Structure 1
């Protein structure tokens, strides 16, 4: 089943009154059903930000944008957390030294030269270390 069919099923489930729109109240309930917490005020803000036609409700297209936006934000946050684990020294970059240290913590023994080569493969600006944008590129190519 493609993701839009899945989104449609979820949308229809959350559209309690069948008006093909999701109200802030319906959005709040659906977030609660999937284990999240959202106040009515937060739901109202989310609807206001994503509402393309100004009627105070989410149509299916608005809902898809909201769902995909939330997923993307979570991915970026997960990547930032992983980046910080490898970066470790507060430099804002993954250096061969910090990469070697993290890999050894994970049980992978690499030489400094191997770590330099691993970094060089994704080091777009050629500075010998990975900044967050380069790390994102590397991780997107890994999946």
Structure 2
């Protein structure tokens, strides 16, 4: 879920404007309810109350259940970094996928590893995939690939 607009705020004034837009009651703090409302209205993201509270809690340094300007900035920057990481993983996944099927197969893994100079037998590629193939279909989906890359 992305709190910031589709691009990273480039200045503290842009971040301040974004904070002001989320701070509906202009009290200098953003509640989970305000965060949720603004994410729905401005970004089209429907966030549950629990997820909004978890987002606030993830950066709420003083434990008051509200975001001040610094805490909000940390949340925005964390979300932007996560989005950039996700985009990088998508690119890497696309390199290994190569067959247009939306998954990494033993054959596509073998082909990519070979391009990288690591020659593996197809059975070795199957075994590599099996370690992270959570649904047992013999291939890696993007979600399984993300898990593999974070291991």
State TM-score, norm by structure 1. Answer: 0.64
The one of 110, 133, 139 aligned to 1:129:
139
Ranked by relative contact order (alpha carbons within 8 Å, sequence separation 6 or more), the top structure is: 2
* Cα distance change of structure 1 residues 125 and 92 upon mapping to structure 2, 3 Å threshold: same
For each residue in 1:76-115, what CA deviation from the matched residue of structure 2 results, as whole angstroms up to 9, or x when unmatched?
0000100000001100000000000000000000000000
Q: Which residue of 2 aligns with 1:86?
A: 96
Paired position in structure 1 for 2:149? 139
CA contact (8 A) 1:96 1:112 kept: yes
Following superposition, the deviation at residue 133 of structure 1 comes to 0.4
The root-mean-square deviation of aligned C-alpha atoms, in Å, is 2.6
Could you tell me which of 11, 14, 24 is aligned with 1:29?
11
Q: Structure 2: which 5+ runs fail to align?
A: 1-8, 29-67
Aligned with 2:75 (options 57, 65, 72): 65
Unaligned runs of 5+ in 1: 1-26, 32-39
Rounded Cα–Cα distance in structure 2 between residues aligned with 1:101 and 1:56? 57
| 1:99 equivalent among 105, 109, 128 | 109
The alignment partner of 1:109 has SS state of coil
CA distance in 1 between counterparts of 2:86 and 2:146 reads 8
How many correspondences in the alignment? Answer: 104
Distance 1:55 1:132 in 2: 41
The question of whether the paired residues in 1 share the 8 Å contact of 2:110 and 2:121 is answered with: yes
